[in-house]
Amino acid sequence: MSEAIVFVNGEYVPESEARISVFDRGFLFADGVYEVTSVIEGGLVDNAGHLVRLRRSLGEIGMSCPMSDEEITLMQKNLIERNQLEQGMIYLQVSRGAAPRDFAFPVDTKPSIVAFTQSRNVLSPPVVERGLTVVTLPDIRWRRRDIKTVGLLPASMAKQRAAEQGADDAWMVEDGYVTEGTSNNAYIIDREQRLITRPLSSDILPGITRKAILALAEESGMEILERSFTPEEAYQAQEAFVSSATTFVMPVVSIDGHAIGDGKPGPVVKRLRELYIDFARRTLS
């Protein structure tokens, strides 16, 4: 198969020829933000929401977007086509660009913008059938988790620790309450079939998938409680799941070794996943 094409600062180049400066602040300071949009049937899922959040993240770090939404969408579609991507995701990163190393923001630096695609089974990965196992770990991230920055080392370390403990992922805990997963939002369903998830604040990323799921759950008549929950409460839950652009609605069947419900993906989470996939198809662009 021919080499994948990536987008770097206005050009489409084979992966092996893609270049970013050593002095790029994304590389030196994690001074950049990103978005991940899933792709199904060759189309972008709920991309408008991701572009709104990209602009917000950039604004919070004092940057503006170097491309318009129309230009970004066109570029994303181009990249999907060039890489013949049917299903998977598209990653988009904007960093402050290259400048002599100094902590304060440089003036008039040209931002770097990069995008690539990754093929992946998002619609029906085998793990949906068995569900994820998670362990809880301390949340050691910074205080502005609402900004989708590329500073992902704490999340990466948590995911690695989870893997070393034989788990699929980690739920991070702060002051006794679950914040979110390493790269997803966390939810439980209690015995009254209420959907419980932490409210938005700077403690968690405002998931684009989360927003859609809460609207779909509400439409389907579910009661939603946006409040924090403890790991102990989660152990007692009837069902649990995580959400993100690449996992959609993904069942969690074990937390810190406690089986959730009967230890198998449950009906409420299955239903929410179906509702989300219908929604995703309706938003394709």
Identified binder of ligand PDD from the candidate list 76, 209, 228, 254, rule CB under 6 A: 209
- Say how far apart CA 39 and CA 47 lie, in whole Å: 9
Identified binder of ligand PDD from the candidate list 32, 111, 131, 207, rule CB under 6 A: 207
Residue 22: CB minimum distance to ligand PDD, A: 24
Neighbours of 193 (CB within 10 A): 14
Backbone angles phi, psi at 229, to 5 degrees: -135, 155
- Say how far apart CA 260 and CA 262 lie, in whole Å: 6
Contact 76, 16 (CB under 8 A): no
| Window contacting ligand PDD (CB under 6 A); options: 188-196, 242-250, 261-269, 273-281 | 242-250
What track of x and - describes contact with ligand PDD for positions 2 through 41 (by CB under 6 A)? ----------------------------------x-----
Identified catalytic residue from 77, 148, 211, 270: 148
Q: Give residues 147-206 in contact with ligand PDD (rule: CB under 6 A).
A: 180, 183-185, 205
Residue 108: CB minimum distance to ligand PDD, A: 30
Active site residue 148: yes
Residue 246: CB minimum distance to ligand PDD, A: 5
Identified binder of ligand PDD from the candidate list 162, 208, 214, 272, rule CB under 6 A: 208
Q: Give residues 34-63 in contact with ligand PDD (rule: CB under 6 A).
A: 36
Q: Give residues 96-125 in contact with ligand PDD (rule: CB under 6 A).
A: none
- Say how far apart CA 196 and CA 199 lie, in whole Å: 9
Residue 182: CB minimum distance to ligand PDD, A: 7
What are 236's two structure tokens? 């007692």
Binding flag, residue 210, ligand PDD (CB under 6 A): yes
How far CA 164 is from CA of 94, 160, 169, 170, 203, in Å, comes to 32, 6, 10, 11, 26
What are 145's two structure tokens? 């988790």
**Residue 13: burial class (beta carbons within 10 Å; 0-12, 13-18, 19+):** middle
- Let me know the angle formed at the C-alpha of 13 by 82 and 90, rounded to the nearest 5 degrees: 55
Residue 178 makes CB contacts below 8 A (sequence gap 6+) with 136, 171, 172, 186, 198, 228, 229, 230, 231, 234
What are 45's two structure tokens? 């899922």
Residue 198: CB minimum distance to ligand PDD, A: 10
Mind telling me the catalytic residues? Answer: 148
Residue ranges that bind ligand PDD, judged by CB under 6 A: 36, 180, 183-185, 205, 207-210, 243-246
